[in-house]
Amino acid sequence: MRPGTEKEIYKKVIAKKIDIRHVCEVGVFLPEMSNILDFIVKDHLRTTLVEPDNRSIAAIRDFFRDYQNVTLLPYAVYDHNGVLELVQRNASTFVSTLPYSPAQINDNYDIRKEDTFTVECRKFDELDNGTIDLLSVDTEGSEWYVIQNLISRPMVISVEMQGKSYVNPFFKEISAWMAKEGYEKWYMNKTDIVYYKRGAFSITAGEKLQLSLMDAYVRFRRARKRIGKMFK
């Protein structure tokens, strides 16, 4: 991996000199697109990947076959142990019973039976041993099922919370949990909000300004798209 091609979360963690030892990603999709890829291949940190889709599982196992630091858990995360129906729409794989997903909101996708498949699901407290320092969650609308059963209290948590017209269906629940457990927003982009554990490191005035500007941009972008849909 060439210098300068690292993902944003990696560059920011390195700049803060945060002592990260165990990273976890829930909802990997393709291994080369992993949000925590740099921590795996550059720093060889202890890594837990959680991914239920058989096609992604095969790609992940092949890509990381020489990385002894990677553990793959082939499950979906939900509020019970058992079997769960998922829907795959291109790069978006989501739980069929969610109120809505990014594909449904942004692409006007209607669930089709031929796009569904079943996988094993687990509660996250059965997959989390309490040592995760950095957690990245992108499960197309079911991120709350990871957060609500989190045993670890990572220093950094990245969660997909928005995108175009989409707002996470559990935005309020996730935000309330973060506040209750002592987390604050560190930074955000067009899709993710990255939280940090209060006291783990300091945030500069410049970072706070960037956060405010990005938050305003995301809200404006979402409102503009909603207005555009009204006049179609």
Instruction: Please report the domains of the chain, with CATH numbers, ordered by start residue.
Output: 8-230 (3.40.50.150)
What's the chain's length in residues?
232
- Between the two ends of the chain, the Cα-to-Cα distance in Å is 44
pTM: 0.95
Return the bridge partners of 77, or none: 122
The average pLDDT across 215-226 equals: 87
Q: Does the pLDDT of residue 177 top 70, yes or no?
A: yes
Percentage of residues in the chain having pLDDT higher than 70: 96
Which range, of 1-5, 169-173, 211-215, averages the lowest pLDDT? Answer: 1-5
**Can you say whether the dihedral through the CA atoms of 72, 134, 128, 42 is positive or negative?**
positive
Q: How far is CA 115 from CA 57, 110, 152, in A?
A: 18, 10, 34
Round the average pLDDT of the chain to a whole number and report it: 95
Which range, of 15-24, 39-48, 199-208, 222-231, averages the lowest pLDDT? Answer: 222-231
Q: Does the pLDDT of residue 197 top 70, yes or no?
A: yes
The average pLDDT across 115-138 equals: 98
Q: What is the pLDDT of residues 25-68, one digit of tens each?
A: 999 999 999 999 999 999 999 999 999 999 999 999 999 999 99
What totals of helices (H) and strands (E) does the chain contain, helices first? Answer: 7, 13
Q: Tell the burial category of 181 from Cβ atoms under 10 Å away from its Cβ (0-12, 13-18, 19+).
A: middle
Nearest to 13 by CA among 112, 132, 157: 157
Q: What is the pLDDT of residues 66-96, one digit of tens each?
A: 999 999 999 999 999 999 999 999 889 999 9
Q: How many CA atoms lie within 13 A of 229 on its CB side?
A: 12
**Left if phi > 0, otherwise alpha if psi is -120 to 50, otherwise beta: which for 9?**
alpha
